[in-house]
Amino acid sequence: MQTSVVIAGFGGQGVLFAGLILAYAAMDKELYVTWYPSYGPEMRGGTASATVVLGDEEIGSPVVRHPDIVIAMNGPSFRKYEPLVKPGGMLFYNASLIADAGTRTDIRYVAVPANAIAAEIGDTRVANAVMVGALAAVTGILPLEALVETVERHMPPARRAMVFPNQEALRRGAQVVAGLGQPVAS
């Protein structure tokens, strides 16, 4: 079984890093995984996305047209990917920046106030990890503690000061959606 996740936003929101957290955690759990980044030439403010496919069988292609799950960090990403989510899939969205709750009846929407939670933690740069924590709690795609350990294990040396804020963000994201859990099968 495989699950595809697209994380999308603008440059500077940590979209690629969020995808790496999922990819490294999947590798650490000895799952098959692909991580496929896409970004514009701008350093910050341009579009960015990361597609992660993980599962217990070989992956034929990292390219996904209709993902099982989307994490939309901003409004343009929400509008772009909402129509592409596979029927029966899920769309997690950053409710701090996106007021729209969506219109489709064949997918599940999960609103997460990621920027607000990140601000409470003291660093708005960890809104991406809040979203990944929420994803883990609702879908069961990977255990939350595996993601927390992944941040410790794979954070680059120059970013070691961000280990604790990211771990806290993962936990807070999971807490904010506690009780919504229902694993997604694909």
Block mean pLDDT (10 aa), the chain, length 186: 95 92 96 92 74 96 95 95 97 93 92 96 96 96 96 91 96 87 40
Which residues does residue 38 pair with via DSSP β-bridges, in sequence order? 49
pLDDT reported for residue 126:
97
Of 91, 92, 45, 83, residue with least CA distance to 65: 83
Residue whose tokens read 């954070």: 155
**For the structural domain made of 2-176, what CATH number should be given?**
3.40.920.10
Q: What DSSP character marks residue 88?
A: T
pLDDT reported for residue 101:
74
Alpha-carbon distance 1 to 131, whole Å? 23
